[in-house]
């Protein structure tokens, strides 16, 4: 699970996929390789996932107090870096006892985990795991999504699709048009659109919202054509 940027909804999308899989009886684990900007005793992303998705196994490998890239945060804190090899080993270990293992990155695909420049891209390559891109809905998202997908493809990764992490209650022209253009930018299908703010719902209401907003690829019911049909057309009107 990677994002085109920070604060795009990765954790809520990860929780949504985990919640649906758990609802279907699957054994699910979620790994957060590096949690930054959170001190000991404070809730992190895995805590959000557990609150929303229920009784699933989570593992946070490293925690750094500064809200920075993991490599930088590790240097400042004096806490050991987390490496792609360590993340891949943890994922492989959990895979032996779970049906689905989700790895949620920090920021984007190439954010540095360690001093050697290791990133989530290296983790995905090591595991031969598909990559889900979580993107913004509005202006700027197409370029960021295209860059993420292009580097993933160049590194031999399989981009499974793109999910909009936070769909506004009142979408504008950019958001509406981006629904058509995001799959083109990603070179992969639109696999979901999650409503903004669903992370505040109770677990029961959250899984219902997740099933509505995520593709059957994840066990949900999202249909991109049906969703787009309920929005104003992006096509320019003809002048008479």
| pLDDT tens column, 69-94 | 999 999 999 999 999 999 999 999 99
Instruction: Find the domain containing 179 and state its range.
Output: 2-222
Residue 54 has pLDDT above 50, yes or no: yes
CA dihedral (31, 37, 41, 44) in degrees, to 10, reads -40
Domain count, the chain: 1
Roughly what angle, to the nearest 10 degrees, separates helices 141-154 and 120-127? 50
From 174, 172, 175, 153, select the one nearest 164 (Cα to Cα). 175
What are 177-219's pLDDT values in tens digits? 999 999 999 999 999 999 999 999 999 999 999 999 999 999 9
From 86, 189, 194, 79, select the one nearest 136 (Cα to Cα). 194
Q: What is the side-by-side strand order in the sheet with 159-167?
A: 2-3, 131-135, 159-167, 190-195
With beta carbons less than 8 A apart as the criterion, state whether 100 and 14 touch: no
Roughly what angle, to the nearest 10 degrees, separates helices 173-186 and 141-154? 10
Question: What length does the chain have?
Answer: 240
**236 band by pLDDT with thresholds 50, 70 and 90:** low
Query: Tell me, what CATH number does 46's domain have?
Result: 3.40.50.300
CA distances from 78 to 63, 65, 98 (A): 11, 11, 33
From 49, 31, 44, 48, select the one nearest 113 (Cα to Cα). 31
Longest dimension (CA), the chain: 68
Residue 229 in any domain: the answer is no
Q: What is the side-by-side strand order in the sheet with 57-64?
A: 57-64, 28-36, 100-103
With beta carbons less than 8 A apart as the criterion, state whether 218 and 17 touch: yes
Phi and psi for 169 in degrees, rounded to 5?
-65, -30
Residue 214 in any domain: the answer is yes
CA–CA distance, 177 with 184 (Å, rounded to integer): 12
Average pLDDT over the chain, rounded to an integer: 95
CB atoms within 10 A of CB 121: 23
What are 212-233's pLDDT values in tens digits? 999 999 999 999 999 988 888 8
* Positions marked active-site: 32
Residue 238 in any domain: the answer is no
C-alpha of 204 from chain center:
21
pLDDT at 240: 30
Residue 82 in any domain: the answer is yes
Residue 228 in any domain: the answer is no
With beta carbons less than 8 A apart as the criterion, state whether 118 and 84 touch: yes
Residue 234 in any domain: the answer is no
Residue 237 in any domain: the answer is no
Residue 232 in any domain: the answer is no
Please state the pTM of the whole predicted model.
0.94
């Amino acid at each position: 699970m990677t994002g085109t940027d920070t604060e795009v909804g990765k954790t809520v999308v990860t929780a949504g996929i985990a919640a649906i899989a758990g609802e279907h009886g699957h054994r699910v684990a979620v790994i957060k390789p590096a949690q930054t900007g959170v001190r000991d005793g404070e809730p992190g992303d895995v805590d959000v996932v557990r609150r929303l998705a229920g009784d699933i196994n989570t593992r946070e490998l490293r925690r750094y107090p500064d809200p920075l890239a993991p490599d930088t945060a590790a240097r400042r804190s004096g806490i050991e870096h987390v490496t792609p090899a360590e993340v891949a080993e943890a994922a492989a270990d959990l895979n032996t006892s779970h049906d689905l293992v989700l790895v949620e990155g920090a920021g984007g695909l190439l954010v540095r985990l360690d001093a050697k420049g290791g990133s989530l891209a290296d983790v995905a390559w090591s595991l031969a795991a598909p990559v889900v891109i979580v993107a913004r809905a509005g202006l700027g998202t197409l370029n960021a999504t295209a860059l993420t997908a292009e580097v993933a493809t160049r590194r031999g990764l399989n981009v499974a699709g793109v999910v909009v992490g936070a769909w506004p209650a009142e979408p504008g022209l950019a958001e509406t048009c981006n629904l058509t253009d995001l799959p083109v930018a990603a070179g992969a299908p639109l696999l979901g659109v999650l409503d903004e703010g669903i992370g505040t719902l109770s677990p029961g209401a959250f899984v219902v919202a997740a099933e509505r907003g995520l593709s059957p690829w994840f066990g949900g019911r999202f249909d991109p054509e049906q969703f787009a049909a309920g929005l104003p057309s992006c096509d320019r009107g003809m002048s008479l």
